Amino acid sequence: MFIYTRPKPIHMVNLAILISGRGSNMEAILRTVKKKKIPIKPAVVISNKPDAKGLKVAQKLGVKTAIVDSTGLKGGSWEYDQKLVSLLEENNVTPKNGLICLAGFMRIMSPEFIKKYQGRIINIHPAILPAFPGLHSQRQAIEHGVKYSGCTVHFVDEGVDTGPIILQAIVKVKDGDTEESLSKRILEQEHRIYPKAVRLFAEGRIKTRGRKTVTS
């Protein structure tokens, strides 16, 4: 009898999650890891806002947290991102073994940071990219009158929400939807596909060819 077992990655991936607020996507990922559904080690949750609600949630789930306050530092600055790099290295999240999940992290990363961790930074966006990048995507979708929207997990490159797409989920826009009601239904899908994408990464099942990704 032939029994196929997926080969385990030689090194366990070390996970850092970057947040700025509520952290519900972070929570979805950490809970899935806890259920042993993702072979990854949650190393640290980092917030750029000292009062981010998600910090307490992470602590309750037994994950180390840290704050790198970005007050007064412009988005995209290497000065700020260097502090992140030091903290990531202290927690053994490196360009060789790390995965950095942006989960509502409201800062643009510097080109230096992106280059350093190339192919190891992923983000969730509440729209079907390339439609409605940037802020207030759900509002943009409603104002544009689209019939379907959704969410996208993608690798982070130097553009805003432009990196190679890993997973997407579709949500129907209903007549009478408000920004809030649509956001709520999209968020349910975010909580489903973000942990799934993290698992695919941790199991070494995402291959990237230029703009395209193939998952196995």
Q: Which residues bind ligand GRF (CB under 6 A)?
A: 19, 21-25, 103-104, 124-126, 187, 190
Residue number, 27 or 81, with CB nearest to ligand GRF? 27
Least CB distance to ligand GRF at residue 36 (A): 22
* Torsion sign (Cα): 111, 201, 197, 20: negative
For residues 196 and 215, is the Cβ–Cβ distance under 8 A? no
| Sequence-separated contacts (24+) of 116-119 with Cβ below 8 Å | 116/85, 119/155, 119/208
Q: How far is the CB of 11 from ligand GRF (least distance, A)?
A: 27
**Chain Cα centroid distance, residue 46:** 13
Set 125, 136, 154, 191: catalytic member? 125
Instruction: Report the residue number whose CB is nearest to ligand GRF.
Output: 104
Residue 181 backbone dihedrals phi, psi, to 5 degrees? -65, -40
Annotation marks residue 144 as catalytic:
no
Closest CB to ligand GRF among residues 157, 190: 190
Q: How far is the CB of 137 from ligand GRF (least distance, A)?
A: 8
Q: How far is the CB of 1 from ligand GRF (least distance, A)?
A: 44
Strands 148-155 and 165-172, bridge-based pairing: antiparallel
Cβ closer to ligand GRF: 137 or 213?
Answer: 137
Compare residues 120 and 125 and give the one whose CB is closer to ligand GRF: 125
CA angle 127, 132, 133 (to 5 degrees): 90
Catalytic residues: 125
